[in-house]
Chains A and B, each alone.
Chain A
Amino acid sequence: MTMTERPPRTAPAGPSVGRPIDRVDGPAKTTGAARYSAEYPYPDLTHAALTHATIARGRITGIDTAEADAVPGVLAVITHRNAPAMRPAPSFSMLDLSTFASGTSVNYLGTDEVHWNGQPMAVVVAETRDAALRAAALVRLSYEELPATVDFAGAEKDARPQKNSALQSGGATKGDAEAALAAAPVSVDLRFTTPPHHHNAIEPHSTTAAWDGDRLTVHDGTQNISWLRRHLALRFGVRAQNIRVIAPYVGGAFGGKTMVWAGTLLTVLAARVTGRPVRMMLTREGVYRTVGGRTPSTQRVALGAGRNGRLTALIHTSVTQVGRVGGGPEQVTSQSRHLYDVPNILLQQNLTELDALSNTVMRAPGESIGTFALETAVDELAGELGLDPIEFRMRNEPERNPIDGKRFAHRMLREAYALGAERFGWADRTPRPGSMRDGRWLVGMGVASAYHPSWQFAANVTVRLSADGRVLVRCGFHEMGMGGATAQAQIAADALGVPFEAVRVEYGDSTLPTGPGAGGSGQTASVAASLLTACDKLKGSVLALAGRSRESPLRGRRSSTLEARDGGLWTGPAGESYATILARAGRDSVEAAVGSDTRLGAMTGQLRFMSKFMLDRRRWVKAACGAQFCEVRVDPVTGEVRVSRWTGVFDVGTVINAKTAASQLRGGIVMGIGMALTEETLVDPRSGRIMNPGLAEYHVPVHADIPPLDVHYLDEPDPTMPLGLIGVGEVGITGAAAAIANAVHHATGRRVRDLPITLDKLL
């Protein structure tokens, strides 16, 4: 395989790209017409519910289903005693990334073993959801309990260094950071903790499954249709081609719908057992019990600097948790490789194993909590040095990637800070903590850097141009609120020179060409890269058609000289419309494809992705970054913290849709505000049971918590990315919690290094 690649595609914003176009799914979502996974009608539909284990580790010694069976409407109580065996979860393979999809390694209902408090041990199928839930609560389990490790704080000492993998390394060193720290005239050496978090998409995980012989249809709000389909094929022993996954609308996900969790598998299993279509919408509690969340962390950040304000040492180490049955490392130290020009760096990530449900990816896994620790420590050291925190950062802004000297594909953090400071009014800040007041409120201003690597995955796309000038883009990507169909329609419209309204985008269905997963903020760029190539191919085909006729002004022209505009191809004033070309050629439509879903095609696509990924990694560092500015008001009597103003300036390359991109960035900041001030999953350190599995006890931000968020992006293309775009889904949450913690310190003089910053920590 050759390692050549196409020259980067960058282009100025066109008639559609960059515009704040309304979402194409707006009418469906504002009228209730959009159907989510639990909303497809099926004749003969049944409903399922789960019974969860109430111990962290042990064996089931008895199951009494008599009461459950007696509930009117109950069709089946499925346990490990009567369930047909699923095949085991696959082991990881870089050649088939769908092997990463297993939420846990547990073969649900194929074992009497309990691996975490909340593991599903029975599925009840009934005629109504009410009956299924009632009966599931009546299944009586008895256990032989075994000793379990469930307390993260207690298990921290047993943490071991994370091994390096192709996708993520567990540590890095440059120089001698410990020695440099000891020698530094000014230094801080700090410990931070962050609690577990849960995604809390407002749509609970829902699956509707219907078997027809060996064919299966699944409606499931997944972030990765292709992974889910292949995973189900493997677990249920049927061909992937026999499975159709339909997921055009996903009611929020944030990483929580990336892996295949118990609810999905057991709905499919229940449908096979009962021979009827089954729907399971997890209860809110059921989501907490069966879908992993963000790992808790403890972090050490130690920084040393000279009196000139230049950093000399950076140490960032972390401990995070994995379950014995699954989960993985978070790249908590990721941003610490890239943000500061330091001669001596030591980074190390460590893992401790618990008898707990697997941790999983949640919006900016790693950087969201990693930036909290690093950017708070940087603020503290700036304070020690008596430097403005922005000035301190600018003195240490690197020209090349600090850890290895690679080039940045694109980096405009200086510009982001300069613009942010101006928009926010940073100059009005008086440096001394506690020096700003508004009536009874203590006022504080804080800043922090945002950072998230940019990713790109394989995507198969087809584009069809019809004689009537309409364009159909098909790709099985995912829409969970990013506005993907709108953005891709904008890209296709400009690439083909047609109005935005002429483009329709089909997505969210496994019958479409395989799309990328929605993760790593990489979906838009991944689809865009293939879509641009497909549009080029399509224009080439149209040109070839035109060239067959002597009448065509395009005859003999080369595609490189052509411009697509006004619904056709042109060279200067000469050219003609697609409609004319197709009509003359007697064609209804012309189609172009990128990527293939044959077995060989999929393998080739995967290899191409991996080689591009590796090559990119060797060449340069790509990322979105930004500057977060926040103002808080703290009540000195109650310790209540209110976020009163926000400015975020982001370097995210070309923005495809000004409206939806700003919304995504705001959404990240909102989740960051929750992380800073209220969000915390409480785990009983004795039993391992989550104690606040609901939205009444796990506090996500509400309307009243969110002031108008001033979001701005620099809109400078990244020359290494398709159209110059960098994903915007995750960078907004990074740095947000640190900006708040720094503002709280500025308001009160109190440093809170343990999230969330609740009232008690300020009293």
Chain B
Amino acid sequence: MVEIRMRVNGVSESLDVPPWVSLLDVLREHLGLTGTKRGCDQGACGACTVLVDGERINACLALAVQYTGRDITTIEGVAGGGDPHPLQTAFIRDDGFQCGYCTSGQICSAIGMLAEHGAGSASAVTEHVAATGIALSGAEIRERMSGNLCRCGAYNGIVRAIQDVAESPR
């Protein structure tokens, strides 16, 4: 057993787990935060996407012990001060989901993606990678969100929701 301490959604957590336990299992099985979903356990679907110090990762491929001392945000923690995160509101308005199973991952991924874009990182479809102020077109959003599968096919709504939030003044 290994002791791990991490902040999850602003709460300090400390628990003893075997060293092979994934961050996904810590969240779902040990902390009861079932909003983070298991879809493939292979990093292929993105349903388990969470934020670590603001960066998006697949929790199924992360060993929990590697994240000692880090700040984890799950779907249960993205809302601020009682108000839903603007993406949560936009997903509902733009119908960015059907069954809802990939939704937590899509929203966490979108938050991380918008931060990456804001920090100036380029994507595979960025025409001039050295450019600053890359416009967040539909194609850019689709490319950057392609790690998150939605089998219901709510992609149009998801992209619309992200675009709405990206374009609205914060």
Question: Contacts A284-B40, A670-B153, A703-B143: A130 and B98 contacting too (C-beta < 8 A)?
Answer: no
- Cβ of A323 under 8 Å from chain B: no
In the complex, the answer to whether B92 meets A696 with C-beta atoms within 8 Å is no
Contact flags A698-719 to B (C-beta < 8 A → 1, else 0):
0011111010110000000000
Residues on the A chain within 8 Å of B36, using CB: 32
Q: Nearest residue in B to A25 (C-beta to C-beta)?
A: B100
Partner of A668, one of B20, B75, B153: B153
- B153→A284 contact, CB < 8 A: no
- Interface presence of A8 (CB below 8 A): no
- Across the interface, which residues of A come within 8 angstroms of B40, CB to CB? 204, 284, 694-696
- Given A31-B75, A202-B37, answer yes or no on A704-B143 (Cβ-Cβ < 8 Å): yes
A700 touches B97 (CB 8 A): no
A32, A202, A283: the one within 8 Å of B99 (CB): A202
Chain B 46-79, CB-CB to A under 8 Å as 1, else 0, gives: 0100000000000000000000000000111001
- Are A663 and B149 interface neighbours, CB within 8 A? no
Docked Cα-Cα span, A576 to B76, in Å, equals: 45
The smallest C-beta distance from B163 to any residue of chain A, in angstroms, reads 11
State how many angstroms separate the Cβ of B95 from the closest Cβ of chain A.
5
Q: Which of B25, B41, B43, B145 contacts A703 (CB under 8 A)?
A: B145
Does B156 contact A666, Cβ atoms closer than 8 Å? yes
Q: Assuming A202-B45, A704-B142, is B156 touching A284 (CB within 8 A)?
A: no
Verify A130–B25 contact, CB threshold 8 A. Answer: yes
Stretch at the interface among A109-117, A147-155, A479-487, A607-615: A479-487
A572 on the interface (CB 8 Å rule)? no
Chain B contact residue count (CB 8 A cutoff): 61
CB distance from A439 to the nearest CB of B (A): 13
Q: How large is the interface on A (under 10, 10 to 19, 20 to 34, 35 or more residues)?
A: 35 or more
For B153, give its contact among A199, A694, A706 (CB under 8 Å). Answer: A706
Stretch at the interface among B27-35, B114-122, B128-136: B27-35
Chain A nearest Cβ from B50, distance in angstroms:
11
Q: Which residues of A contact B153 (CB under 8 A)?
A: 666-671, 701, 706
Q: Do A31 and B35 touch across chains, with their CB atoms under 8 A apart?
A: yes
B37 touches A703 (CB 8 A): no
Does A284 lie within 8 Å of B142, measured CB to CB?
A: no
Establish whether residues A30 and B84, one from each chain, have CB atoms under 8 Å apart when the complex forms.
Answer: yes
Instruction: Indicate if A570 sits at the interface (CB-CB under 8 A).
Output: no
Give the complex CA separation of A482 and B99 in angstroms: 7
**Which residues of A sit under 8 angstroms from B74, Cβ to Cβ?**
32
Distance of A660 Cα from B28 Cα, bound (Å): 30
Give the residues in chain B near A35, CB-CB below 8 Å. 34
Cβ-defined contact, B41 with A481, below 8 A: no
- Contacting residues, chain B, for A702 (C-beta < 8 A): 146-147, 149
Q: In whole Å, how far is B142's beta carbon from the nearest beta carbon of chain A? A: 4
A203 to B95, Cβ gap below 8 A? no
**B100 x A667 contact (CB < 8 A):** no
List which B12-39 residues lie within 8 A (CB) of chain A. Answer: 18, 20-21, 25, 28-29, 32-39
Taken residue by residue from 664 to 702, chain A's Cβ proximity to chain B (1 for < 8 Å, 0 otherwise) reads as 101111110000000000000000000000111000111
Which of B76, B92, B147 contacts A22 (CB under 8 A)?
B92
Structural contact, B39 and A203, CB atoms closer than 8 A: yes
Of the listed residues B92, B95, B143, B148, the one surrounded by the most CB atoms of chain A closer than 10 A to its CB is: B95
Residues of B within 8 A of A63 (CB): none
- What's the least CB distance linking A738 to chain B, in Å? 18
Distance in angstroms between the alpha carbons of A336 and B101 in the assembled complex: 36
Is A418's beta carbon under 8 Å from chain B?
Answer: no
A664 to B43, CA, bound (A): 27
Main secondary structure of the interface of A (DSSP, over half): loop
B11 near A: Cβ within 8 Å? no
Of A159-167, A248-256, A749-757, the one touching chain B: A248-256
**Chain B min CB distance to A332 (Å):** 23
Given contacts A667-B98, A706-B142, contact A130 B45 (CB under 8 A): no
Q: In angstroms, how far is the closest chain A Cβ from the Cβ of B22?
A: 9
Whole-angstrom CA separation of A31 from B91 in the bound complex: 11
Residue A23, interface by CB 8 Å: yes
Nearest-neighbor residue (CB-CB) of B28 within chain A: A39
Residue in B37, B74, B101, B147 whose Cβ sees the most chain A Cβ within 10 Å: B101
State how many angstroms separate the Cβ of A291 from the closest Cβ of chain B.
14
A482 vs B97: C-alpha distance when bound (angstroms): 10
- Which residues of B are found within 8 Å of A22, using beta-carbon distances? 92-93, 95
Instruction: Determine if B150 and A663 form an interchain contact, defined as CB atoms under 8 angstroms apart.
Output: no
Residue of chain A at shortest CB distance from B144 = A703
- Smallest Cβ-Cβ distance to A711: which chain B residue: B156
For A16-54 the 0/1 string (1 means CB < 8 A from B) is 000000110111111111111011010000000000000
Binary interface profile of A, 125-169, with partner B (CB < 8 Å = 1, else 0)? 000111000000000000000000000000000000000000000
Task: Give CA–CA (A252, B157) in the complex, Å.
Answer: 17
Selected from A23, A249, A250, the residue in CB contact (under 8 A) with B92 is: A23
Given contacts A27-B92, A32-B36, contact A284 B41 (CB under 8 A): yes
Tell whether, in the assembled complex, residue B35 and residue A695 are in contact, meaning their CB atoms are under 8 Å apart: no
Q: Which of A234-253 contact B (CB under 8 A)?
A: 249-253
A324 contacts the other chain (CB 8 A): no
CB-CB nearest in chain A for B150: A202
CA distance A762 to B88 in the complex (A): 42
A200, A249, A663, A701 pick with most chain B CB within 10 angstroms: A663
On whether the beta carbons of B107 and A202 are closer than 8 Å, the reply is: no
- A671 neighbours in B (Cβ, 8 Å): 151, 153
Q: Is there an interface contact between A129 and B39, defined as CB atoms closer than 8 Å? A: no
Contact indicator B95/A33 (Cβ below 8 Å): no
Please tell me if the beta carbons of A251 and B99 are within 8 angstroms of each other in the complex.
Answer: yes
Q: CB within 8 Å of B: which of A366-388?
A: none
Q: Shortest distance in angstroms between A447's beta carbon and chain B's nearest beta carbon?
A: 20
Residues on B with C-beta less than 8 A from A284 are 39-42, 44
The answer, yes or no, to whether A347 is at the interface (CB within 8 Å) is: no
| Contact pick for A39, options B34, B39, B45, B152, CB 8 Å | B34
Q: Which residues of B contact A670 (CB under 8 A)?
A: 153, 155
User: Are the C-beta atoms of A482 and B98 separated by less than 8 Å?
Assistant: yes
Q: Inside 8 A of B147's CB, which chain A residues have their CB?
A: 702
CA distance in complex: A23, B99 (Å): 11
A484 to B105, CA, bound (A): 23
CA distance A202 to B92 in the complex (A): 19
Q: State how many angstroms separate the Cβ of A259 from the closest Cβ of chain B.
A: 19
CB distance from B105 to the nearest CB of A (A): 9
Asked whether, in the complex, the Cβ of B35 is within 8 Å of the Cβ of A251, the reply is no
Contact across chains for B44 and A694 when beta carbons are under 8 A apart: yes
A191 CB–B CB distance under 8 Å: no
When chains A and B are docked, how far (Å) is the Cα of A22 from the Cα of B84? 15
Q: Are A663 and B157 in contact (CB under 8 A)?
A: yes
> B98: which A residues are within 8 A, CB to CB?
252, 480-483, 660, 663-664, 667
- Alpha-carbon separation in the docked complex, A694 to B41 (Å): 10
The answer to the question of A537 belonging to the interface, with a C-beta cut-off of 8 Å to chain B, is: no
A201: contacting residue among B33, B91, B99, CB under 8 A: B99
In the complex, 16 of the A-B residue pairs with CB atoms within 8 angstroms, ordered by the A residue number, are A31-B35, A32-B75, A38-B38, A202-B39, A202-B101, A203-B99, A249-B99, A251-B101, A667-B152, A671-B151, A694-B44, A695-B39, A695-B45, A702-B149, A703-B143, A703-B145
Query: When A and B form their complex, which 7 residue pairs have the shortest distance between CB atoms, in order from nearest?
Result: A32-B35, A481-B98, A670-B153, A29-B100, A251-B101, A667-B153, A481-B99
Other than the given A202-B39, A482-B98, A696-B44, 14 more pairs (CB < 8 A) read A28-B100, A29-B97, A29-B100, A30-B88, A31-B79, A34-B100, A201-B151, A202-B37, A251-B37, A252-B151, A671-B153, A694-B44, A700-B149, A706-B142
